[in-house]
Amino acid sequence: MPITGVLTFITERCMKKLDWYILKNFIFTFVYCIILFTVISVVVDISEKTDDFAKNNLSAKFVLTHYYAGFVPFIVSFLFPLFTFIAVIFFTSRLANRSEIIAMLASGTSFNRLLKPYIIGGILLAALLWIGNRTFVPRANEIRTDFESKYIPSLGQRSGNSNIYMRIDSVTYCGIRYYDTATKTGSGFFLDRLHGEQVVFNLRASSINWDGEQKKWKLTSVIERKVDSLGEEVKQDTVQRHDFNFSPDDLKRDEYVKNRLTTGELKRMVEMEKLRGSEGIKDLEVELYRRDATPVTVIILTLIGAILASRKIRGGSGIHLAAGFAIAALFILFDRFSTIFSVKGNLSPFIAAWLPNVIFAVVTWVLYRKAPK
């Protein structure tokens, strides 16, 4: 075999070993960060909720299976990008301080080639988060929020909602003055059907209740009015049952609903709420788009961490971690601002979910251009 062929073979083998070396350090440090921060989060959460557990006479096994089985996936997914960022900063800074990065670059490895295992690791973790956010994390949130609503009053969801309005179809609108999600009963129900700009049918009921056996809504003290060119026709009934195209679950206006739904369920809910003309639809849309944007955030933060920490500087890991936390804080700040401008303003939910990624992708490019090669 020619000498050049031998050198090529050895170089390829070394490069593969280098990839595995960086990738294994990346994954190991990431898992270590997850375990460490999750344990800290659980301990802090237990200290805050011990009184609630004791007041309800809940056993440790019950709390673990009915609350922390949902809390742990929730906190992991919530801090997943931060875990990734800290892991990259931490182990890359150690490599730089031990002059391993310098040795890799001096051996002929390009900086682009050095970033390859980081990109692979970031994509793997991003795919894991993407799959989890679509199915597993919403199911975990369902476990967590159900427990909180029953046993932790300070965090439980509101049982009552006021002034609910929605569109049933293209010409029919309805509203409920007050609805209790716990008892599935409401008061002050009305329904209007339009023809052009004129109301041709009006229905009012003093109360509305969900009949679980017949899967229909039960109206009491009903007054119907039909209006046409000949005049007005009024009809009164003590009880009526109607099969409206909304269920008790659709009337739950709590902060947890978007977190409990899988991506498929959330898409269907967004479509239905758009049809009904419901308020608060932007909050659901931001959550829907963010489930695709957050995995990309993992890749971007991985690259930023690798570029920042690969330079050997005075202060070592401490300076790198400080810079990393500052960038993470800025990212969270941009994310919160974009969400608020979307929910409370006119910013598109799609732009609100992806804008922080776009901004920090530009930051990544600038840092890459200035990084020593």
Of 103-117, 231-245, 246-260, the poorest mean pLDDT is in 246-260
Q: CA 324 to CA 329: how far, in whole Å?
A: 9
Question: To which H or E segment does residue 201 belong?
Answer: strand 198-211
Which residue is listed with tokens 């059907």? Answer: 193
3-class secondary structure, 147? helix
Distance CA 306, CA 92 (A): 6
Sequence-distant (6+) residues with CB within 8 A of 10 are none
Residue 342 has pLDDT above 50, yes or no: yes
| Residue 13 token pair | 């083998």
Q: Which residues contact 33 (CB under 8 A, 6 or more apart)?
A: 83, 86, 87, 90
CA distances from 347 to 54, 221, 339, 350, 370 (A): 45, 43, 9, 9, 33
CB burial of 161-180 (b: ≥16 within 10 Å; e: otherwise) equals beebebebeeebbbebeebe
Q: Give the whole-angstrom CA distance, residue 96 versus residue 199.
A: 73
At 3, the pLDDT band (50, 70, 90 cuts) reads: very low
Q: What pLDDT does 130 receive?
A: 94
In angstroms, the CA 54 to CA 123 distance is: 43
The mean predicted confidence, pLDDT, of the chain is 82
pLDDT digits (tens, 9 = 90+) for 86-96: 888 888 888 87
Can you tell me whether residue 253 is helix, strand or coil?
coil
The pLDDT value recorded for residue 206 is 92
Q: Considering only CA atoms, give the Rg of the chain.
A: 28
Handedness of CA 124, 129, 135, 141 (dihedral sign): positive
Residue 123: per-residue pLDDT = 92
Q: Is the pLDDT of residue 1 over 60?
A: no
How much is the pLDDT for 125?
Answer: 93
Lowest-pLDDT range, 12-16, 57-61, 177-181, 182-186? 12-16
Q: Is the model's pLDDT at 11 over the cut of 60?
A: no
Beta bridge mates, 240? 219
Question: What average pLDDT does range 128-140 have in this prediction?
Answer: 92
Q: Which residue has the higher pLDDT, 78 or 251?
A: 78
Contact 64, 10 (CB under 8 A): no
How far apart, in whole angstroms, are the C-alpha atoms of residue 27 and residue 23?
Answer: 6
pLDDT tens digits, one per residue of 199-239: 889 999 999 999 888 888 999 999 999 887 777 888 888 88
Q: Across residues 324-353, what is the average pLDDT?
A: 81
Task: Centre a 10 Å sphere on the Cβ of residue 100 and count the other Cβ atoms it contains.
Answer: 17
Among residues 250, 9, 222, 235, the alpha carbon closest in space to that of 17 is found at: 9
Asked whether the predicted pLDDT for residue 40 surpasses 80, the reply is yes
What pLDDT does residue 6 have? Answer: 45
The answer to whether 167 and 275 are in contact (CB under 8 A) is: yes
